[in-house]
Structure 1
Amino acid sequence: MVSIPDDTVRALVPHTLKEPLSGSGEGPLAGLTFMVKDLFAIAGRKVSNGNPCFYAHAEPARETASAIRRLLEAGASLTGITICDEFFYSMLGSNVHYGSPVNVKAPEHVTGGSSCGSAAAVAAGLCDFALGSDTGGSIRVPASFCGLYALRPTHGRISLAGVTPMAPSFDTVGFFARDPALFRKIGHVLLEGDTVEAPIKRLILPEDIFGYSEASVDAALWQVFSKIGGALPRPERNIVAGDDTDNWRDAFRIIQGFEIQSTLSPFLRAHADEVDLGPGIRERFEMAAAITAAEAEAARRARARICERLNWMVKPGTVIALPTTPTLPPERDIPDGASFAEFRTLTLQSTCLAGHAGLPQISIPAGEAAGCPAGLSFIGWNGGDEALLDLAVRLEPALRNVA
């Protein structure tokens, strides 16, 4: 009998489900439970997008989000709605209104955001898997910090119908799991569109990205490579962004902010006298509001060049291996403000790659760095999601031997 679990890690919103939403009982996910980030529509219910004022003004959804429907039809049952960073505009995993979920793998540290509640719930065993969204790293970052498997899919391969948009040209639906076999099974349920099949025969190690990783993260991942090398092609060292790293990051930030002007900002303008935004979030919306059309167009031209380079590098059969996050998870007491800026800057330098080109990226748990989980990522080619899911399963036996 499926039931609502005790929220031992403060991962759920106050308006979470009171009763499970039962799945079909048949299919590849029969008997499993999942939770969803508080931006997925559920018929008859409201979303808050991490903000109680939005929740107060929202209308109940008429239809359930496509991704949820596919999971229910595949047999899984929905048991909770999870906290997200306010309006998804952070990578920290904190919400001034609803609290900060606990990272059971590193309790003194953040979960990462903005899909923080979903990651915390899976890591703590409150559910078998969970849905989140990833625009600038909101699936990948908490996966790394909480020691989970996660996928940011090829842009558009998992339906965004019924999901609150943030920056539509970057937005994706992703998911977390603890087990690679289940991870692959979930992907096969959710992924739509064309698969581009190819054996992985080329592995690129980007020296520029490893170069700005913290020493403990860098050392942990090189130890992983020494253990799993036989399951991968011989690595080829290369430069991905190089001297253009800052420009790639800034192009992402500008495009994201400009698109937010049309998605989330209208509500904030209409309810400016009511909305109480948390620290760091307000400043980011102010930054987004100041971006001009000319700046956005210049950033889009830069993005076109970035996409051309990445698609040239990551042809079918090629993957880029990189730290999911270049830093350790910050301590829980760090406020989302100026002191958080360096972490955000370094992280976005890594996460913007797949975002710009719409490429799939998995994060797999790869041991520890300074007592915290560390994630190893692989960026694949357009439509190569299934190959990445297979790779996660193939690497798992070797990863068991990583101290």
Structure 2
Amino acid sequence: MIIKGFSFSAVAAGIKYPDRLDLGLIYSDEPAVTAGVFTTNQVKAAPVLIDIDRLRQGRSQAILVNSGCANACTGRNGMNDALTSGRLAAEELGIGEEMVLLSSTGVIGMPLNLEAFRAHMKPLVNGLGPDNFERVARAIMTTDTVAKTVYRSEVIGGKEVGFMGMAKGAGMIMPNMATMLCFIVTDARISYFELNQALKAGVAESFNRITIDGDTSTNDMVLVMANGAAGNDWIDDVSRDDYTAFENVLDSMLKELAMKVVRDGEGATKCVTIRVCGAKENVEAEIMARTIATSSLVKTAFFGEDANWGRIIAAMGRSGVRFNPEHVDIAFGDVLLVRNGVGLGPDAEQAATEVLRGDTFTVCIDLKDGNGCEEVITCDFSIDYVKINADYRT
């Protein structure tokens, strides 16, 4: 798929490892309306701080992204290195440096290999082409096992509008926002307010509804660039059908990419949806679902295919949400395991165990106390998760 006005490039710059794609570039022929959502961690990497400042103008023309080094907690030198890398890209592209957004992922606390940027910026820019989107998606991988991309096309405002999205993430994943990068480009013509509104709403229901290990990173971001090359009527009113159409496409892309991140969780073997209904309010349902989804004991039980519902109800009890344990129903898939707070016996547990043997399933909790209902997507904790993270820096 090719989207009008965008080109892409990736090279093996040797930022951390030789002969591995690790430096990517996304470029719009014209300045693009751009919105972003960033980590809520108080510790923010240099690229995040720079992008937050640059996006006050609501426009950009390029995203320069590297793997192999997070450039986080690197002090004034790290900030200067990030600014220099952007300046190198801007000079080679012939655009203002404030139009270049920066993104990094990798080990925290390590200095950026700026010489790799200097040596490879020219071939990176010279390699720009419309067919290199998948190469950039591979260049942003760290412990990911697969590149994560999605594509969409939709008629909006009487014109065919294209969308391309990529994400990176496998560990240090916990909303709000996490060690994940997501870049979406579209040739839609849309105003900044509407783009920002659609992005924030979409992230709230996608990347902010997933968890792998409960850790929030210093570098995560979601950026959306819209260069208007499709020539559709301006999307400048959230009450209009064209805005709804745009928002629906963006939502579906964000949710699909978020699901791909969970499925590729470090060492993960199962993708699990925790759905809590019957709460007094939606916010209470979300709090409880998130508590269950981040419980190490619950996640290891999923890996062991153990229908240990006691761990689930214990996590519910420490969530801070008030409920009556004697009203609780718990089901694994379509197997009811607990009714009114009491287990239904060995046969139900055996049937639930069969559900756990699948690689995708849903745990449904009914509190019977209201209309609040939310879900959070998680994965299991396996032995491989420990192995991957025990020697991540080596």
The TM-score, its normalising length taken from structure 2, stands at 0.24
> Between Structure 1 and Structure 2, whose CA radius of gyration is higher?
2
The TM-score, its normalising length taken from structure 1, stands at 0.23
- Structure richer in strand, relative to its length: 2
